[in-house]
Structure 1
Amino acid sequence: MPAGQAQFWIANILGRAIVFGIIAMSLTFLATYGGFISLAQMMVAGVAGYTLAVFAEGAVPRIVGGLGYGAAIPLGLLAATAMGLLVGAISMRTRDIYLLMITLALAMGVFRFIETNIAWFNGYEGIRNVVGPSVLGMDFRNTFVFYHVALGTAALLYIGIIYLVRTPFGLVLQGIRDNPRRVAALGYSVALHRTAAFGVAGFIAGCGGVLSTIYNIGISPGTIGLGGTVNVLIMSVIGGLGHPIGAFIGSLIFTVFDTFAATIYDRDRFNTLIGLVFLAIVLVSPDGAIGIGVRLRRLLAASRR
């Protein structure tokens, strides 16, 4: 593959898909192991991104500034985790459609607040020139440096989730998903575990929000609007909510169609195109792309026997 083409795929397809996949994985974590779907994950990621942009040195316009990325990035992750805990505390007694609606209301409330606040978030224009730190003396904006940092972050978060769900906390969380009354009868606090799960998901989304802000060299309200919220949900459902890896499969499918929509069909008809893909996958396999892969593997195993 020519060097220019390889750089295009790494920067515009793989790197972007990994960043989106991390945010989608925070939703998949809640859905898979907690049994609840949050529509606030893109907003939580945006909180991390805006915190980074507000405090990082060199950002334009300067809101607070003065902090190096070594301090601003942990501050962004802390803010996202706190917002995740807040969302969990507010919505811990709701389920199903009511949980969807309250998390969506929270997401849109924060979006409107940021969009209309010029003093702290520069309103519609957002904050620019968030270029990220240097990594071992190399520019973070370098395509290959960013890709490997994003890939390493995604791998660590994925391994962390797989480990966490095998701990007592993860097992109780899965018990709450299956039968919350029985778990409560055993003496565990259902509300506390659900809130903590939202905090974990907030940290994961915050990692994606920080990487997304650096990838886009800034952040604006449109990033965390209704479109971004729905896109994360689409990625998660397309990939499959049965396993965290589905978030990355769905984000890769979404990114490929988003990038080549003009070639495949029509750039202005992207929503129609991704809607058709979404409908086709869900009709063929309610479990998403993961479910299709499982069925194909079973068919191949049966044919070999």
Structure 2
Amino acid sequence: MDYFGQLLANGLVLGAIYALAAVAFTLVYGVVRLVNFAFGELFMIGAFLTTSLMLDEVSLFGTPVPMPGLSFPLAALLAIVLTAGLGVVVDRIAYRPLRKAPRLAPLITSIAVSVVLQSLAQTIWGAEELRFPEFSLAAYPPVVLFGSIYLSVMDLVVMAAALLAMIGLTLFVSRSSLGRAMRASAEDQTAALLVGIPVDRVVGAAFAIGSGFAALAGLLYAQTYGFAHATMGFLPGLKALTAAVLGGIGSTPGAALGGVVLGLVEALGSGYLPNGSAWKDAISFVLLVGLLYVRPQGLLGRPELNSAGRGSLLGGAVEMQGWLRGLFGRFDHALEKSAGHGGKVALAALAAALVIGALVPSDYWLRILTTVVIYGMLASGLNVIVGFAGLLDLGFVAFWAVGSYLTSILFVLVLKDGFGIAPQEMWWLFYLNLPLGGLLAAGFAVLLGTPTLRLRGDYLAIMTLGFGEIVRVVAINWVGLTNGPMGIRGIPLPEIFGIPLASPRVLFFFAVALAGVVLFLVARLVRSYVGRAWVAIREDEEAAEAMGVPTARYKLYAYATSGFVGGFVGVFYAHYQQYISPLNFSLFENIILLMLIVLGGLGTFIGPFIGAVIWIVFLQLAIDIPFVQAHPETRFALLGVILIALMLFRPQGLAASARVDLTMRGARAKEGASDEPLGRRAQA
């Protein structure tokens, strides 16, 4: 009983921190329907500012800088105010211009802001941990409850601060004029504007309060665990989002309840389950997936939030300003013409890739270009489900991991380590594993996709995120199958008749050939009635159902196709890298793939490869900039700024004009199709 009580106390402390951060998520979501991934970085900045202000000297940009050495309460208050101000600035620059943009644009912008803030934090404070200083409250002896439950004074401060902050926020929202304006804006921003409510100011206030709550959670987390670090906000940010969804995102009491529940579940699971501390992250996401399946809106959420607006993912083309129209005019015209000559364009692109591969003299750049092709193929797989079917998937890396681990386990752990068979003797197994890895990942995708059929919009994205994280945690902890965090080494290069394809040039040509296969299969499927059903679902799922399209079935087809591509490419990726580990399949990698297809243009065949070229080649070229050489992490900040600018001025993506016409009118004109409705043809 004493052990249970101590776990319960620990869970309440952790739950209080999660609750504060979850309130930050849900407050902004309730007003503008934005899952702001940058709150994890505001969490981190609150911790860094508090720690820095309490020290006498801090190394900034690698140079010692004197600091005021403030007391903990004063430093915390100043950090909260500064972080709240930063939240308002971010909203004004990055989010406000996208109020009426398609739903994906502000989401991608929030991811880009997260990348920028994390990269800047690494540049300013460095990649090392900043130790939280000792202060008077932390030196007091622990309080003993019921004779056996120990809580430090700061644990009590954490719980008290969280309780007071959430009570104060509840009273503020329910009784103040600004709080009532927030509630009105959350219900209907247009109606709020009509009655004279300054919606932009109200939203700015929501960002300020939410950012302040994130900073408070971050500084309390830093003092509890004794450090601040540039990446410290990533996992707590995910947990806060999980807590917000558990309670019902958009509901402040629900977010608080979700945070407490999540903290208690993690603490009790860590204490009672075998190796529970290693599996506690998986416990959180299993709880998330299970609750969303049973009650999609969360514990206290409203059912109507489990929806996606019509055309909300991509939206129509955005009218560009004059200078942008002139800049992209010829480019768009060429892409529009190419959309009607897909076969010729594909052959021309293949020929260009072969010429580039033959002329590039550097093995280093050939490896870079091979990585571009691999990421372009992976992004093409994600593009099937996001760009064509309109389902926001944040767990695609799970399918990539299935293919990579399948071939790695068979070649290294089974054949080589288990039976002592040299991989060269079984070189043909690689070619068998390509379709086998794709099929296994496709089956896995259907298995994971089935529970998501009841979900819409952001809830769908969050559930797939949970699936992806569960797979990653399993890969880390199932050491007997995956070799755990150490990963699997010694994966053989692809071979033909026992001859290794060791040359970077040959591997590049091999990757291009695989890319040709992937694009051919995807293009044939997308241009069929299956692809037209996907586009109908993407543009208006309710209208597609009304026209007789069996949307559940075609969603599963999209998951299966996306999973097949991920598993297929994952097999080649493992052999090309010759080493894999769970770090290769993190949520950040999934976010990068999503950014690639948004950068290039969702729903296009060429977009994922354009995005991959820009992302990966820029990372290499930017290293020649003197400041970047001193601070390499600023490359990601620069890319984040580019992506934010793209979302502000061309949210449809660079190659959006290459999006093919998949309407039934175009199908009849080009293929002589009958006048039979899409729904009837789809069901056939």
Same fold (TM over 0.5): yes
Q: Quick check: 1:96 aligned with 2:453? A: no
What is the match of residue 62 of structure 1? 417
C-alpha displacement of 1:175: 1.8
SS in 2 for 1:238: helix
Equivalent-residue separation in structure 1 for 2:635 and 2:582 (angstroms): 21
Equivalent-residue separation in structure 2 for 1:108 and 1:65 (angstroms): 33
The 1:62–1:274 alpha-carbon spacing in structure 2 relative to 1, beyond 3 Å, is: farther
Of all paired residues, the percent bearing the same amino acid is 26
Amino acid at match of 1:173: W
Post-superposition CA distance 1:157-183 (Å, at most 9, x none): 212222212222222222222233333
Amino acid at match of 1:39: L
Q: Quick check: 1:43 aligned with 2:398? A: yes
The answer as to whether partners of 1:15 and 1:147 remain within 8 angstroms in 2 is yes
- Say which of 368, 371, 386 aligns to 1:31: 386
Amino acid at match of 1:262: I
Unaligned runs of 5+ in 1: 295-305
The answer as to whether partners of 2:433 and 2:571 remain within 8 angstroms in 1 is no
The answer as to whether partners of 2:382 and 2:396 remain within 8 angstroms in 1 is yes
SS in 2 for 1:92: helix
Q: Quick check: 1:272 aligned with 2:637? A: yes
Amino acid at match of 1:30: I
Equivalent-residue separation in structure 1 for 2:524 and 2:456 (angstroms): 26
Q: Quick check: 1:230 aligned with 2:591? A: yes
Equivalent-residue separation in structure 1 for 2:415 and 2:622 (angstroms): 32
Q: How does 1:215-294 map to 2 (within 5 A)?
A: 215-264=576-625, 265=628, 266-291=631-656
What is the match of residue 559 of structure 2? 198
Amino acid at match of 2:638: L
Amino acid at match of 1:271: F
TM-score (norm 2): 0.40
The answer as to whether partners of 2:395 and 2:587 remain within 8 angstroms in 1 is no
- Say which of 515, 534, 538 aligns to 1:173: 534
The 1:170–1:9 alpha-carbon spacing in structure 2 relative to 1, beyond 3 Å, is: same
The answer as to whether partners of 1:91 and 1:102 remain within 8 angstroms in 2 is yes
Q: Quick check: 1:19 aligned with 2:374? A: yes
The 1:48–1:169 alpha-carbon spacing in structure 2 relative to 1, beyond 3 Å, is: same
The answer as to whether partners of 1:236 and 1:250 remain within 8 angstroms in 2 is yes
C-alpha displacement of 1:227: 2.1
Q: Quick check: 1:78 aligned with 2:439? A: yes
Equivalent-residue separation in structure 2 for 1:166 and 1:65 (angstroms): 47
The 1:139–1:72 alpha-carbon spacing in structure 2 relative to 1, beyond 3 Å, is: same
Post-superposition CA distance 1:243-299 (Å, at most 9, x none): 1311111011111122234223232323212211211222221012214999xxxxx
What is the match of residue 510 of structure 2? 149
Equivalent-residue separation in structure 2 for 1:55 and 1:145 (angstroms): 24
C-alpha displacement of 1:61: 7.9
TM-score (norm 1): 0.86
The 1:105–1:70 alpha-carbon spacing in structure 2 relative to 1, beyond 3 Å, is: same
Q: Quick check: 1:10 aligned with 2:388? A: no
Amino acid at match of 2:478: N
Equivalent-residue separation in structure 1 for 2:573 and 2:508 (angstroms): 12
Amino acid at match of 1:10: L
The 1:217–1:285 alpha-carbon spacing in structure 2 relative to 1, beyond 3 Å, is: same
The 1:179–1:279 alpha-carbon spacing in structure 2 relative to 1, beyond 3 Å, is: closer
The 1:64–1:158 alpha-carbon spacing in structure 2 relative to 1, beyond 3 Å, is: farther
C-alpha displacement of 1:142: 2.0
Equivalent-residue separation in structure 2 for 1:234 and 1:59 (angstroms): 36
Equivalent-residue separation in structure 1 for 2:543 and 2:455 (angstroms): 17
Give the stretch that moved more between structures: 62-71 or 210-219: 62-71
The 1:113–1:17 alpha-carbon spacing in structure 2 relative to 1, beyond 3 Å, is: same
What is the match of residue 303 of structure 1? none
Equivalent-residue separation in structure 2 for 1:255 and 1:249 (angstroms): 10
The answer as to whether partners of 2:405 and 2:482 remain within 8 angstroms in 1 is yes
Equivalent-residue separation in structure 2 for 1:30 and 1:248 (angstroms): 16
C-alpha displacement of 1:5: 4.1
Equivalent-residue separation in structure 2 for 1:179 and 1:292 (angstroms): 21
Q: Quick check: 1:139 aligned with 2:500? A: yes
Amino acid at match of 1:50: Y
Amino acid at match of 1:258: L
Equivalent-residue separation in structure 2 for 1:173 and 1:103 (angstroms): 18
Unaligned runs of 5+ in 2: 1-355, 660-684
Equivalent-residue separation in structure 2 for 1:207 and 1:81 (angstroms): 10
The answer as to whether partners of 2:450 and 2:556 remain within 8 angstroms in 1 is yes
Post-superposition CA distance 1:101-136 (Å, at most 9, x none): 011111011101111121110111111111233136
Post-superposition CA distance 1:48-75 (Å, at most 9, x none): 1011101125889836896632433333
C-alpha displacement of 1:40: 1.4
Equivalent-residue separation in structure 1 for 2:470 and 2:609 (angstroms): 28
